[in-house]
Amino acid sequence: MATYIPPIRSANPYLPFGDQRTAPFYGKDILSVKQFGRPDLEYIFGVAHEMREMVSRVGTFDLLKGKILVNLFYEPSTRTSSSFTSAMERLGGSVIPINEVRYSSVSKGESLPDTVRTLECYADVIVLRHPEVGASALAAQYARKPIINAGDGVGEHPTQALLDLFTIREELGEVEGLTVTMLGDLKYGRTVHSLARLLSMFNVRLHYVSPAILRMPPEILEEIRQKGIQQTEHETLAEVLPQTDVLYITRVQKERFTDLDEYDSVKSAYIITPDIMAAAKEKMIVMHPLPRVGEISMDFDADPRAAYFRQMEYGLYVRMALLAMVLGKA
């Protein structure tokens, strides 16, 4: 006997399954977390929940059957590109991977606007990672199809911040009232730029721990200050670890340094070990967008507070939700 599989319900009760005319994100670009408000986050996370349930129940289903995504990556990626591929394929769609722009016409000198105008002839949505701040916004100016920013240099990484926030909610149940400590390369780490902005929509306390040369950019501090959020900067973790509910660690972004001696001077500034974590709460989580290059000792991985592997799985559901939304199916 065939089992009945109910269709994906949208977070919007008025949106019949698959009716793109009323899907609020239909055809939209995802360029920065600044474009979202609290109701949007609720909506995205509602759809992500549905996706999680569907994946656990049926694995793959045909919500985006016949749709095509281009993964256009001008910088290296493991998690972002493969999770978007998995997300699209679990929704029944397919993917054109351009992970090595060296082998595409980009190496002949083709401009980004021309490359996206080419690829959108063959696809319904473009996921773009590029080394320059604002590259996705530029691409979106030229493209008719949705552009999803998968990292624009040291600028933003909005889909990562959404999955980070989803992780916090799933793991701790609530964002309001939390103390979040960001540690490591806060200057060049785009994930923390997006996450700090997103968190500033909630009543949170933010601590930034970094070497002096890798502090959070002043314009982001100012933006968050204007939202009335309490922020403090530190050079040592011990000052803030005991109060921390979410410890968000980042890699020192070697590829952004012009002076490698400077990189060497800060690359091992912080290393999280079980010993250090003895001073932290019992109920708290440690996150990292990954890859890690020594900031968290593998000895800590078995600790229930280590959420970085679970964080990647939450990313799949959030990216499935975003694809379904911009393609008018949720």
**Chain contacts with ligand NCD (rule: CB under 6 A):** 79-80, 151, 157, 160, 190-191, 250-251, 253, 289-290
- The bridge status of strand 68-73 relative to strand 94-98 is parallel
Least separation in angstroms between CB 253 and ligand NCD: 6
DSSP 282: S
Least separation in angstroms between CB 75 and ligand NCD: 7
Least separation in angstroms between CB 287 and ligand NCD: 11
Give whichever of 8 and 195 is closer to ligand NCD, judged by the CB atom: 195
CA–CA gap between residue 241 and residue 235 (Å, rounded): 12
Helix 158-172, helix 190-199: angle, nearest 10: 60
Least separation in angstroms between CB 24 and ligand NCD: 26
Least separation in angstroms between CB 252 and ligand NCD: 9
Give whichever of 9 and 215 is closer to ligand NCD, judged by the CB atom: 215
Give whichever of 52 and 251 is closer to ligand NCD, judged by the CB atom: 251
Give whichever of 179 and 191 is closer to ligand NCD, judged by the CB atom: 191
Name the residue type at position 287: M
Give whichever of 80 and 231 is closer to ligand NCD, judged by the CB atom: 80
Least separation in angstroms between CB 302 and ligand NCD: 22
Give whichever of 19 and 266 is closer to ligand NCD, judged by the CB atom: 266
Distance between first and last Cα of the chain: 29
Least separation in angstroms between CB 84 and ligand NCD: 11
Give whichever of 144 and 254 is closer to ligand NCD, judged by the CB atom: 254
- Buried/exposed 111-147: b ≥16 CB within 10 Å, e otherwise: ebeebbeebbeebbbbbbbbeeeebbbbbbeebebbb
Question: Is the four-CA dihedral 34, 308, 132, 262 of positive or negative sign?
Answer: positive
Task: Give Cβ neighbours of residue 234 (< 8 Å, ≥ 6 apart).
Answer: 207, 208, 209, 240
Q: Do 127 and 157 touch, CB atoms closer than 8 A?
A: no
CA–CA gap between residue 5 and residue 259 (Å, rounded): 56
